[in-house]
Every structure is written in C-alpha cells, then in structure tokens.
Structure 1
C-alpha cells in the first residue's frame, strides 16, 4: 500500500466534540431562531416535541438532552430563519433551479406561500389556498381515481396519515405508497409472512437485559445516534456486540458520550463492537448461514443443549428443511460469498451460543437488496434456533429511518388492502372501499413511464430524488395531468411538474399548530410500536402556512361528494376527534388514545409475535431454506463492482445539511467513490482520479454518472460506496427485492470507466 492509496478515515470517535461542533455549525448555517434551543430542550420528552429525524424510541426517563447530532440538525433545519418567498421564484425559473444542488435548494429556507406552477413563464407564482384546493379537486375529479397516487413521506403524523388514507379510499384507490416502500418494506413483508407481525418484536427495555447484540447493515452513528446510549450501557454491563457491515462505521466501533463530562474532558471512549466483520455487499445470507452451521455443530457437540428444541417443536415450522440446507451448504461457498473467513464467523458464533438473550438489529443493509427477503429470513432463522423471539431481552429489531414511517402503515397508509380493516371503515363512513391492490413506489414509477399514472400528490418527502432510474422517470413526470407537493422547503421533486401543479407550504412539527379548537397535538409511532404525543411551540415561519392535516382536509372537501359522516372542518378544528376515529377503527391497539398519548415512554400498541402468537398462514413461526447465498442476482465478473449507496454524517434522507461526512473523514465533497486500496491498484486507478460510474444491470438503458473522485477506503474487495441520492440514477427500476419491490440500493452492479 502506498501513501496515495492509504484509506481515508476519521481519527476521532462517534459523539464527542465532533458531534457538538456539527450541531453548532448547522445552527450557524441555518440562522435558526433563538427559540430553537428551547425546542431542543423538550425534544423527545413527554409533553414536548417529537423529533422529525429517526424513529428511535423515546425513553420513559430521558436524558437531560434527549437528542442526537442528526436530530438536532433536523430541528435547526426546520426552524431556520431563512424564507423562500414568492420573490425568490420571480427571480428564478424552474429550469434554472434544476441545475442547483440539493443542498442549495433547501438552503433557500422555509416556503411561505401556496404556489402554482405557471408553464408559460416557467415559474412558480403565488396563489390563494382556495384557488389551490379548488383546482386540485377539479383535477382529481377529472381523471380515473385509480390513475392517481397519494404518496406519503415518513414524517406526517398519525392523525394526518389516517385522514390521508381515508381520503384515498373514499376517492377510490389504494395507491398509497410511502417512504417505507424505499427502505423497510422488505421488513414489513418478510416479518409479516414469517412471524405474523410486520414490525420488530423488541422494546427499549430489552436492551437492558440482552447478553449479545448482532448488527447487520445498520449505521448507528449516523442514522440513529441516540441508540448509542443504550448500546454503551449494554457494553458496560458485559453485553457483547458483533457487527456485520462492509463499512467500518465509527458508531459501532467507539463512542464518546457528549453527556458524560468525564469522557468529554479526558477523551476516553467506549469500545462498542467486540468483533467487526466486513462482509462483502450482498454477502449477509452466507455469513448468517455460517453462524447457523456453527450453532448446529455446537448443539451436536453439547448433546442438544444449544438449540431450543422445545421452542421449535411448539412454535415453529420448516426447521427440518432449513437444517438440511444449512448442513448441505459448504464452508467454502460461505467464505466465497460472504468474503469472511470460517474462523471469524465461528468466533462470532461462539458469542451467539454463549449468550442467553440475543437481539438481532438490522437496517437497510439487509432490506435494500434483490434478495432482501432472504436476508431478513436468515436472521430470523438464526434467532428462532435458540428461541430468541418472544421473550424479554431478545428479539428482532429493524431500525426505522423516518420518524413516523412505521406509524403511517399502522393507521392505513398501505397499498395492500388486506392490511387495512376495510369493513370497519365502510361501517364508520358509509362507503364501499376499493379492494384491489394499490401501487408500490416501483409500480408508480412504471406507471409514470407507461402513462397509466395521471396524478401525484406528495405528502412531504422528495419522491423524484429518492427513487431509482431518475434519468428515465424525470422527463416522463411532466406528462402527468396533476402534481401536488406538500412541503416545508424546496427540493428537486418540486422542479418537475405536471400540466397543473401546486406547491403547498405546511407547518413543521416543531411549530405551534393553532386551529379553531386551540393549539393541536399530533402523535407518532416509534420503531418499538410506542405512540407519543408531540406538541409544537415555535412561531410558524409564515402566517400563510397550513398544517398537513388542514391541507389534506382542504383537498378532500373539494374532491369528494357530500357525506354527512365526513366532518373535515370539525376534524381540522380538533385533532382529538381524529384520534377518536383511530381508536374506533383500531380499537385493540389505540383504545383511549387521547388519554394515553402523553404516557412517559409512550403507550405500547402491542405485538402478537412478542407474545408468541403467530398470525401466519401456518399459525407458527416459519423457518426458511434460502435458494441462494448472495443477495444479488447479478453474477460477479471482471470489472464489475457492487455499489452500496449510503448517507453522510451531514444528511438525513435526501436532505443535505452540509458537506461534512466527518465520521468517514470526507470533507467538502459528495462527488466521490469510496474504493479499497486493493481494488484501486488492481484497476490501475489512483486516489483523486476522476472517473465515471456506469450501471451494469444488463438491460438496454444507459445509466451513467461522470466526474466522480476516487477515494481510498477500508472496504472488502469488489465493494464500492457512494452517496445517496446522487448515485440513485445508477439503480435500475427492475433492481428491487423480489417480494416487497423495495429498490435494491445495495449491491448495485456498476463498472468504473476512466475519463479520457
């Protein structure tokens, strides 16, 4: 290895002074209002404001500062004093703005007025709310309902989400994709099929009792930093953490707790992982199969005392076929597909076998693969072998990325009619709900391309920037009859418009939501199925803003026929009435919702699999026998790499706060490819060289991104890394999980081309 190919890295730890500097820099950049600090003091606390960043749990007994670096950045970003007024749009055409970066678009600040896109001038122009609602209603009534799509990002409250889903079905379709379609839909499909619950089985208290935690494809330090606090405590009491991830992420290596003065002043840190295994992209099925083989061998050596045979006999099916598959799978193939040695996998297996209570944690490193279903199913196999589903201190724990993405599914935002109590809704609101399956995100994109989608309403988010194959879909988007975007700030999705288009500014969750019935509370669900009330106190960025719920109700009123059971105005005046509706529709989980929403730690809506009640087709938890060991369906070949797209430390989803990826040692740039020194030398490349990435999916479409800088990084051979969403255009629309249709943003087949 030469100096030129020495891997780039960050010498510090996760947390620490770097985290505090990141918060201060964001506050200065956003020029956040002074009240933002008061909001941070109440963030994620009972009676306060629930963070709009990740969905990590809110503890009963919070820290003095119950927010992380990225959570603080999200709040400061929302409470910026910058304003994007009609004057800005008078100065800049939409075509011009398409050349701006994601960061620069959102840096213009909060949207302040409802806007209509004027095609003649290629500009947004101000309009009244009445005009917008009337035109949108007329546009929706003019088309076949099933050609419309109602998309939701993961931020909208339970109250707004419930009404949005109700509006969709009253209008006549189940086309309700949300951001889960792009990240954890694989979780919902896999867990629901195999254990009868679409969500994880753990609660926060389990992390105080577990003996080992196995991580797969989850970057805690960047994506859910508050998780580091219970991890630190677990390690300090003797819990073992084993991590499988192609990238050595700082958050699972070492942590300096900003709320421990001793660590901050002395520079001491807590080592998190006892073993960190850099599995190759797409190699998790093989790695977990190796763990399972070790468990089978240990059980045989110890006279059948390792595997929980009684649990398997009473609660599981499919074990014999799974065991036969594991025994028939050679260690040679496991090592080849995982990129790991047998010795390292067996060392991790010993940690698993010696632990009485094990939690399996995973993120999009498992879900966003062509065979993401099999990734999660294999992790379930491992946990089921020793009865780690359905008892305290153990379970499966998907870490959700957006603050209420799980909750939206809970209250009806789903394209799958079988997951929604349609008969109950029909009784409540006196209508016949559509029963056919709606569109997923992938199907929406296909519909835009083939012309079957005619209208799109976006409840938050940045749909066009988050999807794959952007180069094909963006031009087709302008053929839609109607596009509506509900947002707080300008983003790239707002720059591609249908023939009629509106951009509607909404309140942020941290802002006071004052309606006729007084200040309103909203609710959200965290990753552990706990429901929390959230109350904003900050002055809204503009007097012209409406809440998301009020906007949904306003559009619904102008679209739907009269129905005495639809009380849109009353529901807007008092969100408590909407919570009463939720409690009526989902009584078992949400009874007495208004009375319980401010319980410390949130109220638990329950999880049948946690109680070992298996609502599967077989009535039991199901083992599976995978037909493949690689989570990709594109074979290895000379010059072909597996691209993993990731977020930076200065980013949340498509929102780019800045250009500091501190914990990977990359500053001031995002146009990079991270690649191992071995691959750099093998390909005849050099650090700092500018190259192109070309998609290698094997279809007729050209996918190419030019002028990317080579950065040496500690990665497995054949695995390269780049930033989401900039590299999304390289992902073929057909490259998705076979069961859930989640776009496969991991192990994307690409080639590197030298410039010139």
Structure 2
C-alpha cells in the first residue's frame, strides 16, 4: 500500500490521457518502456500474440494499437525485466512472505527455476526438473486418483488445456475445476437450458448492425476496455444503450479513444449509455421481469389499438417453448414488489420496454454482476427471456453476449477442461488412446474447496492461477491447505498460493504466452478461443525470462510421463516437440469443431467454431429456445430474514489497476482512489444512518448465522453513488466474507455480488 492515500472524485472519461499515462507508467516500472511499446504493436494481431488479459474478440482488420490499458498492463507484467534472484528464497522464509501483499509478491518479477519446499527451513529450495517430475509422479501414483484435483486457470492455451484434461482422465478422475467455476459457470448452465449453447451468440459484426444495446452487471471500462471501441461506434450512430448496474461505472458513461489523435488533442468525449439505471444488488431478476411485464402490457395495448405488436409472435410460436407460463408469471408480478426489489421505478422499466419495442435488433451484454449471485443461473435465463420476446437471437445485430474474463477460459471448456463428463466425448477419447475414461462427475471449484476442508482431497495441482486467493472461505481454506499431501503450482510469478503449501510442495516456473517457445521442431505457436467463439493463433515475441523455464505443454507432459504407465498411443514427447501434433489430436477428438485445425487457424486471423443457436437451431430437450420462469424475486433465499437496518449487501468489485487476483498497483482511477485498496464504497444515507463519517475506519462481518465468524477489517468508508442498502469493496480482499455455501444454485459460482454484511466501527489507524 502506498504511504499517500488520496480519494477524490474522478471527472475524466474512460480512456483518454489517463489511460495513456497509466500504460507508460507500468511499462516504465517493469523496465520495458521502449521494447514494451514495440511488443504491444503485435498484441492481438494475426502474426503476433493474443492478449493474456481478457478474452474480448480480435477484429479481422486490426487497428495499429489493438490493445487496451489493462491489456498493456498484463503484457508489461509478463514481459517485465524484473527477476526473482537466486538468493531470494534463501533470504526470505515462506512464513515471512505470507505477510507480503499480493502486489508486492508479484512485483518481485519472474520465477526462474523449479523449487521444492523444505519445511524444515521454511524455504523454497532449487530442484532439477527431472527430480521434480519423478517425485511428483511418485506421489501421484501413491494416491487414489479421485482424491486429487487438477485445476486450470483461464490463460492456458488450447494445446495445454487438452493435454491437462487428458492427463487427468488417463490418471483416473474428472476433477478439473477451472476459473470459469468462479465466474461464468452460471452462463455455462443457464444458456444451454435456454438456447442449447453454453456461450454467447454475438459476433463483432453484430455491433455494426444492432439498433439497441442493453447491459447488465458488466463494467466495460475495467473488465473489457477494447469493447469500448464498437460501443463508441454504435453510440455515434445514435444507437441507444441502456445500462443496469449498481455503481455508475465510467466506461458506460463517457469515453475518449486513446487511438484517435483528434479526440486526444481536443479532449472530446463520446457518450456511451443513453440511459443508466442503478439497480440494487440482487435486483436483476426484478428489473428484467419488470421490463418483460411492461413489454407484454404494451403488446396488449397495441393489439387493442390495432398498432404494431411489441413482441415477435411469429418467432415465439415457431422457435420457443414455455411462453405461456412465463407470460402469465410476468403479468401476475406485482409492480410494487418489482420496484422494491430492483430499486427502480415502474416508469424507468416501462421506458426501457418502449425503447426495446421500437428497436429492430438488440444485443444483451452481461458480466459477473449477473452470474455471481445465488440466482446467477436464473439471471442468465431472464436475459434470454427478454431477448426471446422480440426474436433477438439468431438474426443480424442481435443476441446474447456474456463477457468472459480470462483470455482462454472459454476455449478450455471447448477442449475438455470440465468436471462434467457428459460434456466430453469420452467414447472418442477411449478409442483414440486405448483406455477406459472415468465416468463419475468430478469436483468443481466449490466442491474441491469442500473436499480440501473435509480432508477427502489429498493433492492439488494448479495449472496457473492463484487459487487460494481467488476462492471463498479464505480462513478455512488456508487452515486446511497444509493438510494436503501434495501441492504443485505451475506459475510465472510468486503469489499467495505459493505460500500456503501441502506436506510435499513444488513450484514450477513456466514460459509466458508472449515469450518465444523454442522446441525441437522450432518456434511454436499456440491457440486460444475468444469470447465470440473464434479460434486464433498466438505466437511468442520476446526472449524467455530465463534459460531454465519450460513451456506449459512440456511441464504437463513431464508430470504425465512420470505418473502414467507407457502408452504407445500417447506421444507426449512428440507433442512437446511440435504443438501442431497436439492440434491434430484435438481435431481427432473434436472433428466437428476443429476440422482442418492446423490449416484453418493460421489462415488470416483464425476461424469461428460452429454455434447452431446463431442459425436458430436449438440443441435443447424441447428442440426449441425455452422461456424459463424464475422461482421468485428473492436473491438470497438461504439468508433471507426480516429486514435488518444494519445489514448491507456487499458487492465485490475490481479496480482498473488489477486483473482478477493480479494487483498491478494501488490506484483505481475511475473511482478516484489512489494509494489504497482498503476502501468501502457506501451510500451516504446509509453511512449517516449507521453513524459513519466519510473516512471512518470499519470492519466487515458476514451477517449469517452458521456458527462460523467471518470478518475483515481496516476499510475506509468512502461516500459513493451506490443504491441504498448496498456497499462495495475490492476482490480478493473481501473473499474471506463469502461462505462456501453461498453460491449460485445449479452452477455453484460463489455469490460474490451480494453478500450480507454488518459494519463495525474501528479505531482510526
């Protein structure tokens, strides 16, 4: 944390000079000002590398600067010239490092050599790659496979992910949780039931054709800044954009394009949202149901007057199922209840319905503000219900767009990273590799955490990420983690997960995606899938951080070969020598998706995988798109009690100086925060009612009665434009407040966007 804390309103736009200064600052700090700018010119280009930050789509015709502020930070963070020196772990014990912040741990720079934990000295000590693989393999062979977990973060390539999932199943389990379990699993569960596809239906070209954009629970300025470019183009065409989000986020308000010399010199701004509605935390079902109710009422009135209908009756009759039950529920919904739960007035919801009814096409954008709720799956279904009412799926300029986070989290599922065996072609894998794949459902993220706490999980292997910092129930997880027999972390930089270890622990440093990956067949390329289902190549550009680093495919193959019996059908060494052979294997397993993989992916900028819902082919049980009616308007059914004036609903958020658990710095420019992350954003009326002055020091405690105390402290009250009854603070600092059982029904995504909390005043530091 910076010694100088400053909190004051930010009046500028998203983008602009603030973005440019931020990029240059991070490149300077990572000692990459000149070479970093040159490297960034190849980011998200067909002959360059895919951004290691978000998964926003790459246009066919790339701009000169095809990157955003956060993408530039992610690149600078990975290609930093900073290195963890050989004597670092000799000078610092693991216990000491546990007192370091997330930022300071990663700021030490790139890890350079494999390490084994020496519990006696409480230090990481060097180990050879061969010894590490041999010892990890021996540990795994001694364990029951189903007692182990193979986690994958969202950055691993398609090639690595395929190898990782195959290794797990050859070993004997489907315990393959990934970062999607913590973010967009509600999408992966909700969309298939509604439209028969687990992903969005939008292509970039749809932004040029749409007549309306609706956004729910998504912060474009921080989480997907490159999306601001098509939004700006649409805004300049006069396309209305209606945003529903508890906080007023600057990216949805105003934008100055840093790539436009004219806009930068004149400091001109583009209005993004035409309407902004600050829905209460957990009020999305009520808000969307209110729009649907108003739409149906408008349609009734239109029918009576003999004017144009407000809903698409022909589409509904031909392509949907369940309309009658849903329409009846929407008509029966009480306006007073909808207003109270959403925090929005009937007039605002009716106006939205009227604008929607006048629009020939509409895109519905949403993010984790919808998926990370107890009702996350129902939230996703409600977005689809709204689109189906006017036939806005499967036509130009229309569809559903869940904005994913990690750069390949969607692609990992495409090639088999899933705890759900029914989503993987196990029969084809069995024939391809001559083994009997496990058929039992594996553990997702929440279930893996439950198993670690219960002691039934004995080993945890992590392909990237910072799992222990990212998950809920932090105190219980850190207390249980040392009881694991084996922990293995494949990483580029030091993080909190490397400081809480099992009885036997290894830290294996890998190449980053931006680094040249030289193997026996020459420099290698990998592939990724973006949020719009496009498969594209990525080629390393800079020299590796150190000579001992190995690629992720090489590390996965090394552990697999040391663990599994020999199998002539599994050419691990050949796969490491030439990743094209891994792509051939992927094509053999998924021929419908990856036909001609090695040829097509390097032609131009890649190819889109098939998605029947785009052609109005519904792969659902009914054979149609389904209207699915929510059970109630209540967000937290298992914590619902009589209204308590001292209980607020906490929303966890990211700053624009972080990506997930990676903290680049202590500033959040768009919210006017500098020098700290320990901020609690509060409605001024709530603060006054609770007797808390702006700047007061508080602790937060989870307001549930389950016998487990959960508390975090050291937060500074900051008055902010947020709905009454809600507050917000940064992730992952607030993860200790989330009960493990407080997750989305059906998907088990941690419900981090609506946590009931009480505030406790503290003495000022």
- TM-score tier by shorter-chain length is over 0.9
Residue of structure 1 aligned with 2:713, choices 700, 706, 727: 706
TM-score (normalised: structure 1):
0.98
Q: 1:420 to 1:740 in 2, by over 3 A?
A: same
CA–CA separation in structure 2 for the residues paired with 1:131 and 1:215: 51
| Cα shift at 1:274 | 0.4
* Contact kept in structure 2, 1:32 and 1:77, CA below 8 Å: no
Alignment of 1:643-658 (within 5 A): 643-658=650-665
Contact 1:8 1:713 in 2 (8 A): no
Closer/same/farther in 2, CA of residues 529 and 493 from structure 1, 3 Å limit: same
The residue number in structure 1 matching 2:121 is: 121
Q: Contact conserved, 1:33 with 1:80, CA < 8 A, in 2? A: no
Conserved 8 A contact 2:263-2:269: yes
Shift of 1:206: 0.7
Is residue 2:616 matched to residue 1:609? no
Contact 2:53 2:70 in 1 (8 A): yes
- In structure 1, distance between residues paired with 2:98 and 2:725: 34
- 1:261, distance to aligned residue in structure 2 (A): 1.2
Q: Secondary structure at the match of 2:374?
A: coil
Alignment check: 8 A CA contact 2:537 2:605 kept? no
Residue pairs, 1:507-546, within 5 angstroms: 507-546=511-550
Deviation at 1:37, TM superposition (A): 2.2
Deviation at 1:311, TM superposition (A): 1.1
Distance, in Å, in 1 between the alignment partners of 2:681 and 2:299 is 41
Match of 1:401 in 2: 405
Distance in 2 between residues matched to 1:367 and 1:604, nearest whole Å: 25
- Secondary structure at the residue paired with 2:87? helix
Aligned to 1:551: 555
Question: Counterparts of 1:139-150 in structure 2 under 5 Å?
Answer: 139-150=139-150
CA distance in 1, matches of 2:37, 2:373: 40
Cα deviation for residue 344 of structure 1 reads 1.2
In the TM superposition, residue 34 of structure 1 has moved relative to its aligned partner by 4.3
1:739 and 1:722 map into 2 onto residues whose CA distance is 26
Which of the numbers 663, 684, 693 marks the counterpart of 1:677? 684
Could you give the per-residue CA deviations for residues 215-272 of structure 1, whole angstroms, max 9, x where no partner exists? 0000000000000000000111121110000000000000000111111111110000
Answer yes or no: is the 8 Å Cα contact 2:491–2:510 preserved in 1: yes
SS in 2 for 1:691: strand
Secondary structure of the 1:457 match is strand
1:297-308 maps to which residues of 2 (within 5 A)?
297-303=297-303, 305-308=309-312
Shift of 1:8: 4.9
Partner of 1:737: 744
Question: Is 1:438 matched with 2:442?
Answer: yes
Retained in 2: the 8 A contact 1:169–1:434? Answer: yes
Work out whether 1:561 is the aligned partner of 2:568: no
The CA RMSD over aligned residues, in Å, is 1.1
Unaligned runs of 5+ in 1: 1-6
Deviation at 1:611, TM superposition (A): 1.3
Q: Which residue does the alignment assign to 1:4?
A: none
1:599 and 1:245, CA in 2 relative to 1: closer, same or farther beyond 3 A? farther
| Alpha-carbon offset, residue 9 of structure 1 | 2.8
* Distance in 2 (alpha carbons) for counterparts of 1:235 and 1:599: 32
Q: 1:602: how far off? A: 2.6
Instruction: Give the CA deviation at 1:208.
Output: 0.7
Task: Name the structure 2 match of 1:17.
Answer: 17
* Partner SS, residue 86 of structure 1: coil
8 Å contact from structure 1 (residues 532, 599) kept in 2: no
Q: Distance in 2 between matches of 1:598 and 1:250?
A: 37
CA distance in 1, matches of 2:487, 2:221: 36
Tell me how far apart the structure 2 counterparts of residues 258 and 318 of structure 1 sit (CA, whole Å): 47
Contact 1:154 1:404 (8 Å CA) reproduced: yes
After superposing the two structures, state which structure 1 stretch, 317-326 or 606-615, moved more.
606-615
Task: Work out whether residues 647 and 653 of structure 1, in 8 Å CA contact, stay in contact via their aligned partners in 2.
Answer: yes
Report the equivalent of 2:604: 600
How many Å apart are 1:356 and its aligned residue?
A: 0.5
- Please say if residues 201 and 395 of structure 1, whose CA atoms lie closer than 8 Å, have aligned partners that are also in contact: yes
Matched with 2:64 is: 64
2 CA distance for matches of 1:540 and 1:121? Answer: 30
4+ long deviations beyond 4 Å: none
The residue aligned with 1:381 is: 385
**Do the aligned partners of 1:368 and 1:745 also contact (CA within 8 Å) in 2?**
yes
1:415 maps onto 2:419 in alignment: yes
Residue among 683, 688, 692 paired with 2:695: 688
Return the offset for 1:651.
0.4
In 1, the alpha carbon distance for the partners of 2:472 and 2:279 equals 25
Q: Which residue of 2 aligns with 1:105?
A: 105
Residues 675, 720 of structure 1: 8 Å contact kept: yes
**Over residues 697-736 of structure 1, what are the superposed CA-to-partner deviations in whole Å (9 max), with x where a residue is unaligned?**
3211000011211011100001100000011000000000
Paired residue secondary structure (2:160) = helix
- Contact preservation (8 Å) 1:182, 1:441: yes
Contact kept, 8 Å, 1:458 with 1:484, in 2: the verdict is yes
1:589 alignment partner in structure 2? 593
Aligned residues: 751
Residue from 343, 348, 353 that aligns with 1:344: 348
Residue in 1 that maps onto 2:45: 45
The equivalent of 2:3 in structure 1 is none
Question: SS of 2:713's equivalent?
Answer: strand
In structure 2, C-alpha distance between the alignment counterparts of 1:78 and 1:632, rounded to whole Å: 39
